[in-house]
Amino acid sequence: MKAVQFADYGGPEVLRPVEVPEPHAGPGQIRVAVRAAGVNPMDWKVRSGAMRQMMPLTLPAIPGSDVAGVVDEVGAGVTGVEVGDEVFGFATADGYAEYAVLEHFVAKPPTMSWEEAAGVPVVAETAVRSLDLLGVREGHVLLVNGASGGVGLTAAQLARARGATVLGTSSPANHDFLRGLGVIPTSYGAGLVERVRKLAPDGVDAALDTAGKGAIPDLIAITGTPERVLTISDPDAPGHGVRMTTGAEGRSYQALAEVARLFERGEFDLPVARTFDLEQAAEAQEISQGGHVRGKLVLRVA
Ligand SMILES: NC(=O)c1ccc[n+]([C@@H]2O[C@H](COP(=O)([O-])OP(=O)(O)OC[C@H]3O[C@@H](n4cnc5c(N)ncnc54)[C@H](OP(=O)(O)O)[C@@H]3O)[C@@H](O)[C@H]2O)c1
- CATH number of the domain encompassing residue 70: 3.90.180.10
Note whether residue 250 is domain-resident: no
Note whether residue 259 is domain-resident: no
- Protein residue closest via CA to atom 21 of ligand 1: 149
CA of 153 to the centre of ligand 1 (A): 10
Note whether residue 260 is domain-resident: no
Residue 155 Cβ contacting ligand 1 at under 6 Å: no
Residue 101 Cβ contacting ligand 1 at under 6 Å: no
Q: What is the CATH number of the domain that holds 157?
A: 3.40.50.720
Residues 177, 92 share a domain: no
Domain boundaries, position 30: 2-120+270-300
Residues 129, 101 share a domain: no
Note whether residue 68 is domain-resident: yes
Residues 142, 84 share a domain: no
pLDDT value of position 56: 87
**Shortest-distance atom of ligand 1 to CA 244:** 1
Residues 199, 154 share a domain: yes
pLDDT value of position 272: 98
Residue 171 Cβ contacting ligand 1 at under 6 Å: yes
**Shortest-distance atom of ligand 1 to CA 130:** 3
Residue 288 Cβ contacting ligand 1 at under 6 Å: yes
Nearest residue to 192 via CA among 163, 223, 165: 223
Q: What angle do CA 207, 167, 227 make, to 5 degrees?
A: 10
Note whether residue 143 is domain-resident: yes
pLDDT value of position 82: 98
Note whether residue 257 is domain-resident: no
Residues 128, 239 share a domain: yes
Residues 174, 199 share a domain: yes
Residues 130, 108 share a domain: no
Residues 88, 56 share a domain: yes
Residue 231 Cβ contacting ligand 1 at under 6 Å: no
pLDDT value of position 289: 97
- Protein residue closest via CA to atom 34 of ligand 1: 146
Residue 5 Cβ contacting ligand 1 at under 6 Å: no
pLDDT value of position 55: 86
Note whether residue 217 is domain-resident: yes
Q: In total, how many domains does the chain have?
A: 2
Residues 148, 221 share a domain: yes
Residues 237, 200 share a domain: yes
Residues 189, 131 share a domain: yes
pLDDT digits (tens, 9 = 90+) for 179-226: 999 999 999 999 999 999 999 999 999 999 999 999 999 999 999 999
Residues 166, 109 share a domain: no
pLDDT value of position 93: 86
Note whether residue 258 is domain-resident: no
Which residue among 42, 43, 167, 210 has the greatest number of ligand 1 atoms within 8 angstroms of its CB, and so is best to mutate? 210
Q: What parts of the chain have a pLDDT lower than 70?
A: none
